[in-house]
Amino acid sequence: MRWLMILLLASCSNREVEELRTKVLEQSRAHEVACDLADRVGARPAGSEGDRRAVAWALARMQELGLSNVRAEMVKVTRWERGAEHAEIVSPVRQRLFVAGLGQSVAGTVEAEVVRVGSIEELQSLPDERVKGRIVFYDKPMERGPRALESYASAVDVRSAGAAAAAKKGAVASIIRSIGTGSGRFPHTGAQRTRDGIPPIPAAALAIPDAELLARLIAAGEEVRVKLSLESTLHGEAESANVIGELTGREKPDEIVLLGAHLDSWDLGTGAVDDGTGVGAALEIVRLLKAAPPRRTIRVVLFANEEHGLAGAFGYAKTHQAELMKHQAALELDLGTGRALDFRWHAGPTAEPVMHEIGEALEPLGITPAKQDPDAGGADLIPLGPAGVPKVDLLQDSTRYFDVHHTADDTCDKIEPDALAQLTSAATVVTFMLAETPELLERAPRAK
């Protein structure tokens, strides 16, 4: 029976998929769409004026494409706004440090001796008196390369949880070597979590060259004092929205393949590769599939507020709870401009033949065969885990992505049009085949 299904699928779609793959490679304008968002809207942190402009931009784009059920589904977000920021080494030398506050950092000015640690674990092994009254400097490098995402995942804890751990031991501020790659003198900002019951301290990221300067001075035996001043405003609750539009399925319009990206960006750059490229690719996929819509509905969801706590993703899962069992699968594009390297999926075991088939259709794009992986899926798909919505994922070459990720240098010129066209082609194949395959996929065994 399973064997028969593979044959059927193969016989009816091989040529169609091949043509689609080539058409998207040749005709995708994801690059231009992403640059339009970056150039014309620019920075769009959740709840900001730029965010509102982005919602209007996305609605207009979807209307232009003639999608169905185009709408903005409102979600509440917390609006945090960066103010003037300054850091410098005041002793034993005077040097300006390039710095950016981490998301939702409290404001404050401190001057204190720096204590360097390589990890949260190392900090926790220190006696409290070594930390109390000092600035903790987390110096945990990540590795550059096509699969830098793995290194990011293992280094990012100092950004997300480092300040809270430092505050717990009595530190007056927390600074990190930016979680990023390359040598550009840009701090990489990012989200962080405070912990209940621990008064928060100013938390910031240093540009990599500045973190290395600090590390060199400390390695030379110097007692280094740093002054850090962060201004910021927590405006409280604001409105944002998931922007949604659909290409209605020709046979099973109530069954949905979710194709996601996030609309918000950090405030420092113009959000071209995080996540303008994902937005551009998603919109191009439905534009190019419109001539011959697949069996199921493809729903483009441009999530609000991915960067500051997934409010859009949680809002979507709540609003659409009742129809999640009709979600065939979900794919989010949120890894920048690089080529797709690997296809991975997470669903019930009987989904394997379909995923295998999709993997074979991706091979001509140089993508490694399909792999079952419970970690599959972008951040915005996390809230779909408990309902067992099957997830698919295209891991992209992120060699350059983390050079500009969450920095001022995330601008249109960083997009690589050919690589992005390959990604868009791959994502079209995945989306189309999931929308076309006869049966609903078995739900994923457990929540991610």
Q: Does residue 15 bind a copy of itself (CB under 8 A)?
A: no
Task: Judge whether 257 and 298 are in contact, CB under 8 Å.
Answer: yes
Q: Which is nearer to a copy of itself, 186 or 402 (CB)?
A: 186
What is the residue whose two structure tokens read 């209007």? 56
Vertex 118: Cα angle to 117 and 124 (nearest 5): 60
Q: Which is nearer to a copy of itself, 35 or 58 (CB)?
A: 35
Q: Which is nearer to a copy of itself, 106 or 218 (CB)?
A: 218
- Sign of torsion over alpha carbons 306, 308, 312, 314: positive
Binding mask 263-302 for a copy of itself (x = CB under 8 A): ------xx--------------------------------
Q: How far is the CB of 411 from a copy of itself (least distance, A)?
A: 4
Which span sits near a copy of itself by CB under 8 A: 11-19, 134-142, 187-195, 209-217?
Answer: 209-217
Out of 85, 246, 284, 306, which one is annotated catalytic? Answer: 306
Task: List the one residue out of 318, 343, 440 whose CA is nearest residue 395.
Answer: 343
Task: List the one residue out of 426, 258, 275 whose CA is nearest residue 344.
Answer: 426
Which span sits near a copy of itself by CB under 8 A: 129-137, 166-174, 190-198, 203-211?
Answer: 203-211
Q: Which is nearer to a copy of itself, 84 or 291 (CB)?
A: 84
Q: Does residue 93 bind a copy of itself (CB under 8 A)?
A: yes
Q: How far is the CB of 211 from a copy of itself (least distance, A)?
A: 10
Single-letter amino acid code for the residue at 441:
L
Binding test (CB under 8 A) with a copy of itself, winner from 70, 148, 217, 351: 217
Q: Does residue 40 bind a copy of itself (CB under 8 A)?
A: yes
What is the chain's Cα-based Rg? Answer: 23
The pair phi, psi for residue 250, each rounded to 5°, is -80, -20
Task: Judge whether 185 and 98 are in contact, CB under 8 Å.
Answer: yes
Q: Which is nearer to a copy of itself, 206 or 365 (CB)?
A: 206
Task: List the one residue out of 181, 132, 131 whose CA is nearest residue 156.
Answer: 181
Binding test (CB under 8 A) with a copy of itself, winner from 212, 231, 239, 442: 212
How far CA 244 is from CA of 162, 299, 322, in Å, comes to 35, 7, 17
Task: Judge whether 293 and 247 are in contact, CB under 8 Å.
Answer: yes
Alpha carbon distance 286, 62 (integer Å): 10
Q: Does residue 98 bind a copy of itself (CB under 8 A)?
A: yes
Q: How far is the CB of 241 from a copy of itself (least distance, A)?
A: 21
Vertex 435: Cα angle to 432 and 438 (nearest 5): 125
Q: How far is the CB of 408 from a copy of itself (least distance, A)?
A: 5
Alpha carbon distance 94, 84 (integer Å): 20
Which span sits near a copy of itself by CB under 8 A: 39-47, 336-344, 362-370, 439-447?
Answer: 39-47
Could you say which DSSP state residue 437 is in? S
Q: Does residue 120 bind a copy of itself (CB under 8 A)?
A: no
What is the residue whose two structure tokens read 């996305």? 58
Q: How far is the CB of 98 from a copy of itself (least distance, A)?
A: 7
Q: Does residue 402 bind a copy of itself (CB under 8 A)?
A: no
Which span sits near a copy of itself by CB under 8 A: 293-301, 325-333, 410-418, 423-431?
Answer: 410-418
306 annotated active-site:
yes
What is the residue whose two structure tokens read 């599959």? 376
Binding test (CB under 8 A) with a copy of itself, winner from 6, 213, 379, 382: 213
Quote the distance between the C-alpha of residue 415 and its chain's center.
Answer: 16
Element (H, E) at 204: strand 203-206
Could you list the active site residues? 306
Applying CB under 8 A, the residues found at the interface with a copy of itself are 35, 39-42, 93-96, 98, 183-186, 208-210, 212-213, 216-217, 269-270, 408-409, 411-414
